Amino acid sequence: MPDNKLKLEDLLDKTQSVDSPDKISKVAIVGAGVMGQGIGQSIASAGMDVVIIEKDKENLQRAQNSLSEFIDNEIKRWAMTNSEKKAILSRITWQTTFDNIGDCDLFVEAVTEDFELKKKIFGEMDKRAKGESILISNTSTLSLTKLAEVTSRPEKVIGLHFLNPVPKVPLVEVIKCVHTSNETVKIIKEFAKNIGKTPVEVYEYPGYVTTRAIVPLLNEAMYILLEGVAIAPDIDTAMKLGYNFQYGPLEMADIMGLDEVLTWMESLWKTLGEPRYRACPILRKLVREKKLGKKTGEGFYKYDHHGNIIE
């Protein structure tokens, strides 16, 4: 008589396909800036291996030092332990080439908001990735559909818009472009949950939800400062205490990077043509002077080497 019992291993084979989020064990991240570091830390904290790729050794070393210092600051605050730091860093590999990443399950592009650069990176990721791998962009304003069309797998291209600081913000926007399959969306939403994020699905549109909503607030706060209505600390205190914000809008802009904020505004202004996205002159002035916020030690505020505001 034939044995009709379903074996445990057969059940596991059926429930955990190659494309299951539970099978995601290695992720490549292109771009070792603040966002790339934060995404890498969040993924490594969830027990997955990470490869972070940067354009040269100097920037790569700077990123390694920055991530180590960020975690050290968390340890000082009793938010993490030395053993957790050791475990996270042991799962991250740093390199300056696209070599040895063919076995990665996900590829995340986390470079600056430059469409031509992103397009080039997506073409490279597409060539290197195995057939079932998903390609992700962390873009906040650019067209995912156009990026997907430079690949041979548009149905496996999706957006994951993380917010800075990535390890501390529990939200991620999941952006489905015209070509993205429902299966890809399902896998990535589960992946987001697995790394401790709450996924919010949004339609592809310039700025999505978070960038489109926050940019006018930041811009208006800058105009309030420019017009002499109040000084920066008082503007931020008013918004923090009045509306329960963790950071005031000007400090928030400094944390995001004033060059990035300006790029978002210019992209939204160009795409949507609405005056609320037209960058305040004070922002343009600070960016011209290379005062880009916390990452350069000065923006709307001055910062010490630990990233704390100098009173």
**Residues 190-227 pLDDT 10s:** 999 999 999 999 989 888 999 999 999 999 999 999 99
pLDDT tens per residue, range 173-189: 999 999 999 999 999 99
199 within 8 A of 172, measured Cβ to Cβ: yes
Sheet containing strand 198-203, edge to edge, reads 92-95, 49-53, 26-30, 106-109, 134-137, 157-162, 171-176, 198-203
What is the CATH topology of the domain spanning 10-203?
A: Rossmann fold (3.40.50)
- For the stretch 18-51, what's the b/e string if a residue is b when 16 or more beta carbons lie within 10 angstroms of its beta carbon? ebebeebebbbbbbbbbbbbbbbbbbbbbebbbb
- For residue 34, give both structure tokens: 């603040």
Query: In terms of DSSP bridges, do strands 171-176 and 157-162 run parallel, antiparallel, or are they unpaired?
Result: antiparallel
CATH 1.10.1040.10 domain range(s) in the chain: 211-296
State if pTM tops 0.75: yes
Give the pLDDT band (50/70/90) at residue 19.
Answer: low
213 within 8 A of 186, measured Cβ to Cβ: no
**In this structure, CATH architecture of domain 211-296:** Orthogonal Bundle (1.10)
Give the pLDDT band (50/70/90) at residue 141.
Answer: confident
CATH 3.40.50.720 domain range(s) in the chain: 10-203
Does 104 have pLDDT greater than 90?
A: yes
- For residue 158, give both structure tokens: 């999706």
Give the pLDDT band (50/70/90) at residue 9.
Answer: very low
- For the chain, report the end-to-end CA distance as a whole number of angstroms: 83
pLDDT > 70: what percent of the chain? 93
CA distances from 129 to 27, 62, 250 (A): 11, 27, 40
For the residues 220-249, what does the mean pLDDT come to? 97
